[in-house]
């Protein structure tokens, strides 16, 4: 229990890393934790859970992972069914809980029926006492008899306890718990890693390369080493790096896999800073990293990682400045660190650091290409006899490129020979073997909804978080992403949406063909020249659904009717434009609106985007949002950082899904809603709102708010109703010089309290 009046130490909050996989996992959770809360929730179980998460193991405990609408009972049973391992922490009072005993019965059922792997921990109890119901376990059953529990139910519980007592587990009595937790975690991690290795046994040409790299690693000294993985686009550099990363990441204090660096930096002027934030967030295990420019990021990385043994993968690097910003020197990292860099540019790798060891990823030879294709299509190392000729023809068209082999092969699984012949005929007659055309065949096999999602990802969301994109795209998107992943049109890597360069180029060509001469009649616009042509010439039409203008080379003036005919615009990301005559229209179908430096003080009068999911408008000139923006039922994120004219916010009474509110640096903001009742809100940032003197009253349902940043505000006190924030783990009041902490406020989940400068 944390009390604001006494706790002044600043401690970093912990963050967990989700289980990572490049394909759809068989289980939703790696580990289900069964425990009696009053015995171990705040000590052993909490430490075990945190350690599992830090190692990237997706652990489930209690009802914190339950999806909206699930009851506790059904949610727990479902979670057990969807778990690969179950760790049962059998403590002294475990058997007093009906919930625990019912969980145990279900776990053992799943052990038999679903191959659930069970790992019991006898926590200060003897296995024989558990199995024979002696000591506290016997007392518990006497209690259940008094409560008139049915004999049949009692029999099930006794049988389950007897069975679990015979399973080989870990007996904790007078040992050091921290060591036990490390050993338990390592055991689970090693088994999961071994399974991951087994799952990848059919990655032809990869395993031999991984072993080659492992041999190389084994000969290295304990100094910091840079390793470059070099080869052409689509040849398997990222796959190799990821396989190595999975194999050895548990050997390091911290690890981070930074994907698709080139694309991220090209698309976003703050891309390099965001990558630095990701690197620090993952290696330091913190959520919020404040970096304002890449030079500051360099200082922070080189200082904070100096004494950490880290494994870092920098994927798809193509510029010196990217390496300089993310891994400028071996001196940045602790002894024994390994920095793996993938790139198409061998010269870049050589000149960055003289000691960089470079491994070239060579093309598959014909036999390897045919074997890989055969594993994909036939689940065996060679083609079926009746498909030999057709398989060889398709492998030839794929140019031995692994990504092309996967895309082509995934479309032919379990298809009859006639379909193969038609497929090959299409390639010969229409596409002339060009790889872009080959990739497009898989695109044409998608339904219309999947095609639209695929084009959105290719044009706007490559490298983005899959959950964020699913929210923006709407109902059914998660399943459709899995379909795209299964067809190798995208890859979901550590929760990020990735796409091969050639597949992306194919998607761009599909959009360009919609109207080769007039960009305003295409569904998606992402090139500066096309966007400016449409906006300046007023050639936008009802066909335009998405528009992104990233870092234009210079500011542009637009007229007030620039968006008037784009009535179906769903996705908008834009910056560096001026509207000297105002703006008379924005589409009410917008689901994502990201407008940096919005130049006007208000929105168009007719603008009421009821489907809006994200509103991101840093450095806008907005003075006050329309009151209707407090009733956007689908809104999840509102970010008006550094909007210096903003004086008040909507009341948000109609925003049940709102998860993040960011008003950082809104210097004139002085008026918040009288009361907040945002049941989904998780993060609220008001740092730098120097005129804000009074904070809203807090409703009783705001239990999900975990982080509240009030740094540098003029707040004089916090309302007593802040105690309703029972899930708050971080509260920052840095430089709140007027704040009074005379009243003790209990925040039971608080881990980090920053009162520096108060």
> Which tens digits make up the pLDDT trace of 606-621?
899 999 999 999 999 9
Identify the architecture of domain 616-758 in CATH. Answer: Alpha-Beta Horseshoe (3.80)
The answer to whether residue 346 scores a pLDDT higher than 60 is yes
85-138 residue pLDDT tens? 999 999 999 999 998 999 999 999 999 888 899 999 999 999 999 999 999 999
The answer to whether residue 587 scores a pLDDT higher than 90 is yes
Percent of the chain with pLDDT over 70: 90
The phi-psi region of residue 578 (left if phi > 0; otherwise alpha if psi is between -120 and 50; otherwise beta) is: beta
Distance of CA 143 to the CA centre of its chain: 45
* Band of residue 56 on the pLDDT scale cut at 50, 70, 90: confident
Domain ranges of the chain: 29-190, 200-360, 382-492, 514-612, 616-758
Q: What letter would DSSP give residue 259?
A: -
The pLDDT, as a whole number, for residue 494 is 86
The pLDDT, as a whole number, for residue 630 is 86
367-424 residue pLDDT tens? 888 988 898 899 888 999 999 999 998 888 776 778 778 777 877 888 899 988 888 7
For the chain, the straight-line distance linking the first and the last C-alpha, in angstroms and rounded, comes to 22
Averaged pLDDT for residues 496-512: 88
Give the chain's mean pLDDT. Answer: 86
The pLDDT, as a whole number, for residue 560 is 84
* Band of residue 589 on the pLDDT scale cut at 50, 70, 90: very high
* Band of residue 14 on the pLDDT scale cut at 50, 70, 90: very low
Task: Indicate the pTM of the whole model.
Answer: 0.53
Distance of CA 670 to the CA centre of its chain: 34
**CA distance to 279, 314, 407, 549, 614, per residue, from 610 (Å):** 36, 40, 38, 23, 11
Which is it for strands 546-548 and 524-525: parallel, antiparallel or unpaired?
parallel
The pLDDT, as a whole number, for residue 202 is 55
The answer to whether residue 6 scores a pLDDT higher than 80 is no
CB within 8 A of 560, min separation 6: which ones? 579, 581, 582, 583, 584
Residue, of 243 and 594, whose pLDDT is higher: 594
* The two domains 29-190 and 616-758 share their CATH topology (first three levels equal): no
Beta strands in 183-292 (DSSP E): 225-230, 254-258
* Band of residue 569 on the pLDDT scale cut at 50, 70, 90: very high
CB 303 within 8 A of CB 296: no
Averaged pLDDT for residues 260-285: 88
The pLDDT, as a whole number, for residue 742 is 56
Q: Of 175-184, 438-447, 460-469, 670-679, which gets the smallest average pLDDT?
A: 438-447
Distance CA 329, CA 606 (A): 54
The answer to whether residue 487 scores a pLDDT higher than 80 is no
Number of neighbouring beta carbons within 10 Å of residue 616:
17
CB within 8 A of 571, min separation 6: which ones? 456, 460, 472, 545, 546, 547, 548, 590, 591, 592
| 103 in active site | yes
The answer to whether residue 581 scores a pLDDT higher than 90 is no
* Band of residue 500 on the pLDDT scale cut at 50, 70, 90: confident
Averaged pLDDT for residues 641-652: 94
Distance CA 557, CA 577 (A): 6
Distance CA 642, CA 602 (A): 16
Averaged pLDDT for residues 200-211: 68
CATH number for the domain whose boundaries are 29-190? 3.40.50.10140
The pLDDT, as a whole number, for residue 552 is 66
Which H or E element spans position 498?
strand 496-498
Domain topology for 200-360? Rossmann fold (3.40.50)
The pLDDT, as a whole number, for residue 286 is 81
Distance CA 574, CA 596 (A): 6
Distance CA 212, CA 206 (A): 10
Which is it for strands 29-34 and 2-3: parallel, antiparallel or unpaired?
unpaired
299-327 residue pLDDT tens? 999 999 999 999 999 999 988 999 999 99
Helix axes of 466-473 and 477-486: crossing angle, nearest 10 degrees: 130
Residue 193 corresponds to which tokens in the numbers above? 């890693």
* Band of residue 205 on the pLDDT scale cut at 50, 70, 90: low
The pLDDT, as a whole number, for residue 687 is 96
* Band of residue 354 on the pLDDT scale cut at 50, 70, 90: low
The pLDDT, as a whole number, for residue 619 is 94
Residues counted in the chain? 758
CB 296 within 8 A of CB 321: no
Q: Of 70-79, 171-180, 464-473, 593-602, which gets the smallest average pLDDT?
A: 70-79
Q: Which of 351, 349, 311, 305 is nearest to 331 (CA)?
A: 305
Number of neighbouring beta carbons within 10 Å of residue 306:
11
Residue 129 corresponds to which tokens in the numbers above? 């006492």
Distance CA 60, CA 116 (A): 14
723-744 residue pLDDT tens? 999 999 999 999 999 888 656 7
Distance CA 524, CA 543 (A): 8
- The Cβ-side half-sphere exposure at 352, using a 13 Å CA radius, reads 31
* Band of residue 551 on the pLDDT scale cut at 50, 70, 90: low
Averaged pLDDT for residues 515-540: 92
Handedness of CA 42, 48, 53, 58 (dihedral sign): negative
Distance of CA 435 to the CA centre of its chain: 31
The pLDDT, as a whole number, for residue 1 is 32
Which listed residue (81, 82, 103, 282) is catalytic? Answer: 103
Averaged pLDDT for residues 673-683: 95
Beta strands in 344-459 (DSSP E): 357-360
Residue 301 corresponds to which tokens in the numbers above? 């990385």
Handedness of CA 311, 316, 318, 322 (dihedral sign): negative
**Of the ranges 178-182, 462-466, 496-500, which is most confident?**
462-466
Averaged pLDDT for residues 597-609: 91
Which H or E element spans position 504?
helix 501-513
């Amino acid at each position: 229990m944390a009390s604001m009046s006494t706790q002044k130490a600043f401690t970093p909050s912990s963050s967990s890393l989700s289980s990572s996989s490049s394909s759809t996992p068989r289980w939703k959770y790696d580990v289900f934790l069964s425990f009696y809360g009053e015995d171990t929730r705040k000590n052993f179980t909490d430490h075990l859970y945190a350690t599992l998460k830090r190692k990237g193991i997706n652990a489930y405990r209690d009802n914190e992972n339950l999806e909206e609408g699930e009851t506790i009972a059904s949610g727990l049973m479902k979670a057990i069914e969807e778990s690969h391992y179950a760790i049962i922490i059998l403590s002294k009072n475990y058997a007093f809980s009906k919930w625990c005993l019912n969980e145990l019965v279900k776990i053992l059922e799943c052990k038999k029926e679903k191959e659930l792997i069970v790992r019991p921990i006898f926590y200060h109890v003897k296995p024989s006492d558990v199995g024979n119901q002696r000591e506290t376990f016997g007392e518990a059953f006497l209690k259940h008899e008094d409560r008139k529990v049915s004999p049949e139910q009692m029999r099930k519980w006794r049988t389950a306890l007897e069975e679990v007592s015979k399973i080989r587990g870990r007996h904790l009595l007078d040992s050091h718990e921290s060591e036990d937790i490390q050993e338990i975690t390592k055991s689970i991690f090693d088994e999961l890693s071994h399974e991951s290795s087994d799952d990848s046994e059919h990655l032809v040409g990869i395993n031999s390369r991984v072993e080659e790299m492992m041999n190389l690693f084994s000969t290295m000294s304990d100094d910091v080493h840079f390793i470059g993985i070099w080869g052409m686009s689509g040849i398997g550099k990222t796959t190799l790096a990821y396989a190595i990363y999975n194999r050895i990441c548990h050997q390091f204090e911290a690890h981070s896999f930074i994907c698709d660096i080139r694309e991220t930096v090209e698309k976003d002027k703050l891309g390099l800073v965001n990558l630095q934030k990701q690197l620090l967030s993952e290696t330091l295990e913190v959520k919020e990293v404040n970096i304002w420019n890449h030079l500051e990021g360099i200082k922070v990385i080189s200082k904070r990682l100096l004494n950490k043994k880290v494994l870092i993968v920098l994927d798809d690097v193509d510029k010196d400045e990217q390496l300089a910003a993310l891994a400028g020197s071996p001196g940045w990292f602790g002894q024994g660190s390994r920095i793996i860099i993938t790139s198409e540019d061998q010269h870049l790798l050589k000149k960055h650091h003289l000691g960089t060891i470079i491994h070239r990823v060579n093309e598959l030879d014909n036999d390897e290409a045919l074997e890989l294709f055969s594993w994909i299509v036939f689940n065996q190392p060679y083609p079926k006899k009746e498909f030999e000729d057709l398989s060889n023809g398709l492998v030839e068209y794929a140019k031995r490129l692994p990504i092309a082999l996967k895309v082509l092969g995934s479309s032919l699984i379990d298809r009859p020979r006639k379909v193969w012949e038609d497929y090959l005929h299409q390639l010969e007659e229409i596409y002339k073997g060009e790889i872009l055309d080959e990739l497009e065949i898989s695109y044409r096999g998608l339904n219309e909804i999947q095609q639209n999602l695929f084009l959105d990802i290719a044009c706007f969301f490559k490298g983005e978080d899959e959950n964020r994109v699913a929210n923006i795209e709407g109902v059914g998107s998660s399943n459709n992403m899995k379909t795209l992943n299964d067809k190798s049109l995208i890859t979901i890597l550590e929760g990020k949406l990735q796409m091969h360069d050639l597949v992306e180029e194919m998607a761009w060509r599909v959009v360009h063909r919609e109207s080769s001469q007039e960009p305003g009649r295409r569904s998606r616009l992402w090139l500066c020249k096309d966007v400016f042509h449409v906006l300046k010439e007023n050639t936008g039409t009802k066909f335009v659904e998405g528009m992104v203008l990233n870092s234009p080379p210079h500011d542009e003036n637009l007229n007030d009717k620039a968006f008037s005919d784009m009535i179906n615009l769903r996705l908008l990301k834009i910056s560096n434009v001026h509207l000297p005559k105002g703006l008379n229209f924005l589409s009410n179908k917008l689901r994502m609106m990201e407008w940096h430096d919005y130049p006007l003080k208000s929105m168009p009068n007719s603008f009421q985007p009821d489907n809006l999911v994200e509103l991101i408008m840093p450095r806008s000139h907005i003075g006050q949002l329309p009151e209707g923006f407090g009733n956007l039922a689908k809104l999840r994120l509102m970010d008006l950082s550094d909007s210096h004219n903003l004086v008040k916010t909507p009341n948000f009474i109609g925003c049940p899904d709102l998860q993040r509110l960011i008003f950082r640096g809104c210097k004139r903001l002085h008026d918040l809603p009288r009361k907040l009742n945002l049941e989904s809100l998780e993060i609220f940032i008001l740092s730098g709102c120097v005129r804000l003197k009074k904070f809203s009253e807090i409703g009783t349902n705001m239990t999900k708010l975990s982080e509240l940043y009030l740094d540098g505000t003029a707040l004089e006190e916090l309302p007593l109703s802040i105690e309703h924030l029972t899930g708050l783990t971080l509260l920052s009041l840095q430089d709140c010089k007027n704040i009074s902490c005379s009243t003790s406020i209990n925040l039971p989940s608080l881990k980090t309290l920053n009162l520096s400068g108060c």
